[in-house]
Structure 1
Amino acid sequence: MSTPVVTLVVPCYNEEAVLPHTMKVLEHYLQELTNDGVISDKSRLLFVDDGSKDETWKLIYKASLNTDRIRGLKLAGNAGHQNALLAGLFAAKSVSDCVISLDADLQDDITVIRQFIEKFNEGNEIVYGVRRKRDTDTLFKRKTAEGFYKIMAKMGVDLVYNHADYRLMSRRALEELERFDEANLFLRGIVPLIGFTSTYVYYDRQERTAGETKYPLKKMLSFAFNGITSFSITPIRIVLLTGCAFFFVSLFVLSYFLVLKYVGETEIGWTSLIISIWLIGGLQLMAIGLIGEYIGKVYQETKRRPKYIIDMDLLNLGIPEHMKEGIPEKETLIANSLSELNGN
């Protein structure tokens, strides 16, 4: 079997603190895999700048001028981690046999990439990187993450437990993923739906070497809620069942007070009345808000706006001839060589 052409896709948002180290480590490991005959020498690193406000793109651009191993994709604005990841996956699809996605902080153990390739060569179209344990997480983050997976499972969503976005996907799997044209793509739920032969590789997550996490509590909660509402109508059904339950409880309470009135033991219950009003009013507002979330998703789908806009592509570099005038000579040579590589 010929060695596969592999592209490592790394979404980046304000990652200037970790990027030099990440580039050095990944480039060295890619060269090691090439020397061992595990992957093709045409394999590349693709860094996707998700509208960073720091020096992230400058670092990617300079690195791409110094080595053929590193390429960059710059989005016109901040499209979000999932959309930046999609942009990189779809850009790399046409020049790769398989694509591996991972985070820029290198908390995911890159040494298991060798196992990813082995599983791919055995015929697996998708290989999931799964954490053995969550010892590096805080107690709160660990419990909430575990709770999220359990809730999603109870709602009938097929998620890989303790898996994030560290995975290998074949070109064939990516072509099928591209057919999912919805605006709210929750990748951790979508990828298992593809249904191709898949397997797991287990690893231990490392501590972040520098910089700050790009997934604080607010983003984590938003991500979890998006996943739930993108894949399940169970929350709507819970609201319906709660409404039905309160309806029957109200009938029981009504019957109870009618009996009290009949026997002449009624009392003025101002407190219980106000509490009931607030409780029912709160439930109604929650129900309306939840329904609004689903309607909002339908609204986003009907607009059919692009998930992301590419500002500059250093992987499939398509610079028009009339724009090459202002490009320095070295960059022009790189542009031409990349165009030839893409043509092959």
Structure 2
Amino acid sequence: MTGPEEVRCMLMRGGTSKGAYFLADDLPADPAARDDLLLRVMGSPDPRQIDGIGGAHPLTSKVAVVSPSDDPDTDVDYLFLQVNVDEPVVSDRQNCGNILAGVGPFAVERGLVPAGDDTTSVRIRMVNSGDRATATFPTPGGRVDYTGDAEISGVPGTAAAVVIEFPPGKGTLLPTGNVGDTLAGVEATCVDNGMPTVLVAAESLKVTGYEDPKELEADEELAARLREIRLAAGEAMGLGDVTDTTVPKLTLLAAPRHGGAVTTRTFIPVRCHTSIGVLGAASVAAGLRIDGSVADGIAQLPTTGDRLRIQHPTGFTDIEASLTTGPDGLPAARRTAVVRTARKLFDGTVFPRPAHTPGGPR
């Protein structure tokens, strides 16, 4: 058998996603061996992931690998891995802000960071991009408390608030150097405020932006156009050939309903997100703040304060985003913060599917 027969694992809901959290020391150090193990843990490739703990959807087939950080300015390193559902692929090409919400509590649970008497702040380095975040959450009596009255769309009930603040990234907010680009014949704004994201007016792709995600996923013409735009955006944003990756994300924009700033439909890469990722929402919020972006004439920005309500298929995400001017004269992120919740679902041992032996039974 390849790899360990059993692995210590904590399954957590982070934001509107769900994933398996591991200490790096509990996984193989070799990336290929690690990825093979994670495919067997999650039950991929199989559209139902019936023989693993994956949830048969990209939002529930995620992994966090956490370790002590050697960076004096951070406490832990967080590597995010997206485990494909129906392909034997594990990708480290992107961050995940939802799974990020569980990293701080997990680090305290595993003893990587001591808990405070009331609240604890954990400084996190996101290995995928090098970006940093600080997660603050309640730890009364020195123990993580997951109960509280914070509510986020897409998650039933309430839980303790996890406040995640992102310092300005080292990269450029506008990776193409332009406020607007024409990609595969479509006007777009490419933004990276923690997640490479392409903003496109929904009507430019002959949809309203209010459709149900399943309706959009069934639109083969739309899927083909999204692929064309992603490929063009990947080259324009310096990401290279993105055929086999989930970044950049594509977010369609429509006028807001119910008092928000904008309505969104986000694709990963052609499956429509039932909500929106935290870092994706941060990039959308920054894009709304940029004068002359494709959001002009679509978004309705508040007259005061930094908070923007990003509407999505199952509700909304509130993001606090403000911009400044960078040394190159282009817009740059100044502050980004979001309130999420997380919850420990189980903590124990996971038993991966046995490795396939050539010539033996599958």
TM-score category by the smaller chain?
under 0.3
Normalized against structure 1, the TM-score is what?
Answer: 0.26
Normalized against structure 2, the TM-score is what?
Answer: 0.25
Pick the structure with more helix per residue. 1
Pick the structure with more strand per residue. 2
